[in-house]
Amino acid sequence: MMILVLKYLIPKGYIGLTVFPFIFIKNGGLKTNTSLINHEKIHLQQQLELLIIPFFILYGLDFIIGLIYYRNWHLAYKNIIFEREAYAKEKDLDYLKSRPFWAFSKYV
């Protein structure tokens, strides 16, 4: 895992983005935000479990379905199964030590 500060890569309204093996954050001060880094580490694990490319395909499909269903960008994003797991567990800094394989499936 490598944390890179790339202010202009992160879309407006977001502060972090993960593409295995990198975590991109909007500014250097976010490196100490343990919840954010843990959230992004959860995404790294999800990406590994789905062999990276299928993760992004499922992520995109789930977002599009949510966008059609909710007709709201923010609600569609928050209800992506991968985001639901990451937001639910981001404050549990020990979560990744005991996280079951494909734990995101619990959030379908």
Structural domain spans, the chain: 2-107
Q: For residue range 19-66, list pLDDT tens digits in order.
A: 999 999 999 999 999 999 999 999 999 999 999 999 999 999 999 999
CA torsion angle 8 28 33 39 (round to 10): 40
Q: For the whole model, what pTM was predicted? A: 0.96
> 15, 36 in Cβ contact below 8 A?
yes
> 21, 1 in Cβ contact below 8 A?
yes
Among 55, 57, 42, 51, which Cα is nearest to 95's? 42
Residue 44's pLDDT is: 99
> 46, 87 in Cβ contact below 8 A?
no
Residue 13's pLDDT is: 93
* Structure tokens given for 87: 């937001």
For the chain, give the percent of residues with pLDDT over 90. Answer: 100
Q: Sorting pLDDT into bands at 50, 70 and 90, what band is 95?
A: very high
